[in-house]
Structure 1
Amino acid sequence: MTFDVPDASYYGALITNDSFEILVRKNANTGEGLFLRWPHDSDTRPDLLVQSCLDKEFGVNAQLIEGYDAIVFIKGGSLVNFIVHYLGGDIEAVGLQWVTLKTAWELVFKLEDHEVLLSDSASLGVLDRWIRNRRRKIAEESFDGEQKKWLEKFDRLCDRVRYVLGRDSACYGGDGLYSEYIKSIISSAISTMKEQEDLDLYLNDLFGRTSKPGRSAAREADLIQAIHVSLALSSLDLYNAEYTNHVKECRRVLGFLVALENIYGSSSLEIRRRAIEGGNGRWRGHDKAGRIKSDQIKVGQVKSIESAILKVLEDKKLYRKSDRVDVIAGKIAGAVQGEISTLGLGDFFVDKDLQLFIWHFISENKVARGLIK
């Protein structure tokens, strides 16, 4: 098979296996990043170059599946990636390891070199989309026509759940029903329900607590747990073709989401910060003071930064409409940093928090989402 890909300074291999694990370097903070790439060789076709280097340098037997026309900008020039299916080879002996998609995203955001972080984020975004589409295709092949209809609606509901609840770096990995985050929610909720001696009593108690008015941290936590549980129940009903119960649980999830979004829609800055970090009523184990330098964040400064993001998003040359929100955040972070530096806010964020803030802001802000469409 011949692959029609653009000319680039480097050609890379994004390697996955039958379990959709991802092959990365064990030591990624050497300046090379997580993924394998090689300089352009004018005498060798790009796909043959990648396949040959995988064999000679790493002893990896692999099949190239797809070549992407998306160019990633990295240190030293441009990069074009190939999606590669692993067939065999001793990966541990050559300093490589298998990780899940979720772990791969976590490793990307631990990279110390900011330019490498941005380029690896863009590359992983390419593989993430491919895995998501492949998973979707495999799953839908086992469904009949009626199940597919319900599946599409449930997929959209899961996507909304992910955007409301899953906004920190641990929640990358696809969207909708097929995301790592939604799968972990459903799996955890099913395990919790199996542990209950009286499931009906547990559900009645949980759903009863969510009906209480107010916006306390306790109610917030109850709403989140109720969303998890109802989403798991609706998933089980869907796969068992119990559509009446499936619709009932989906409506319940929507009700809890609306209640939670009403809490997050408050003008309180503390509520807003909690919403941005995923709605756990706390900062998910992160050091609150360490994430943003000043513990007394002024609303005016936040609004100035958000305005800078909107201004940069208007420059369509910086990203593609098909890019995921996290990829767009990575691509525009440098430009946003430049904008806020002129406002005297250049040191407002610690380490990589600016990119995460941009991603969260685009996910919640209607104007920002409209600009990237």
Structure 2
Amino acid sequence: MTAPPLTSVVSDRTDVELAAVFERVWEARGYETRVRFRGPDVHVEAAGETPEGATRELRIWITTTGTVTADKTSAFVRRCERAGIEPYVAAVGGGRVAPDAHRRGLVVLDAPALAVEIRETGVESFVRDLAAREEPAATNWLGERIEGRGGDGDDGTEGERDEAEGDEADRLTRREALKKAGTYVAGGLVTYLAVERVSDVVQQSPELRAAVARHAVWVDDRLPDVALPTVEWSLPTPQPLSEESTLPNRTTAVATPTNATTIPYGDLRTNPESYAGTTVTYTGRVEETMERDEVRLALVAVEDDRGRLSGDVVARWPTGRFFGDDIGFRLLADERVRLWGVVAGEGSISGGVQYPRIDVSVLEKS
């Protein structure tokens, strides 16, 4: 039987499968890759050197079901430009890029373009093997026959019973193990991972994290080997606060400073060290958040006195300081906030571009 066209194979892949494909493509070019989940979106990041010896980083936003609108691409390109990363969007299968969403510097990939890259890097066999590993249509994901399809259901049931009788009484059969795994994944692990992305309470609970880790080990011991992309859940290596930090070391309610000033952003950005120790206040919109061990970071685009965005600052505070009884909102992307704190030189949210850093003492929804 003639193999289906590579373009068709690529178009039928899911977001996560395409992430594995992009990982393999860029690894074949000598780049280090990783997969990151940003809400419902899947991103693949690659970093390496060009043949000329220049450093290159890129970020590929993958979509197979939705339409990428102009406002989404604007925010995506802006974040990539600030980090010095080339922006790509891979709209494959049911994914689409709106006609007005194209931006300067944004590379848009479709199924034919991806097929060309797959052939150029010699990973076509990996892609076809990925497609061939799909479960047959006559069975569900637990390996059980679906009634009315694929032959006599009684034969399949009897075969499973014979196989189970041959195992030791204290061991799980493959079917039982997969059912148990499904219970953990559908009923616990997936729910936990989804909640962890949006809930500060869950992120602050080491007990829950430890419980999920134990269940994940149990599942991994009993599931067959499946090639999946290397996934990073945006949890960087913990980095302790510097000894000279001005952050308090316990959760307290702090009154709004009366001596706070708003330094013009241009002056603060040019020489933040000269303003170290100055109490400031700014209003702006949250662009990104991150947690490092016991420290919470947020990249905030601050406004000038006319309400226009001036530039970014890195806000920092101890985990657990806010979002308790003192204020009643969660810190989300695009949330408009007002903060008070002390200028503490420069810092970054993920080891990239350095911005003025503010150690926050008071945070309010604006």
**Which interval holds the TM-score relative to the shorter structure?**
under 0.3
Q: What TM-score, normalized by structure 1, do the two folds share? A: 0.27
The structure number with the bigger radius of gyration is 2
Greater strand proportion = 2
Greater helix proportion = 1
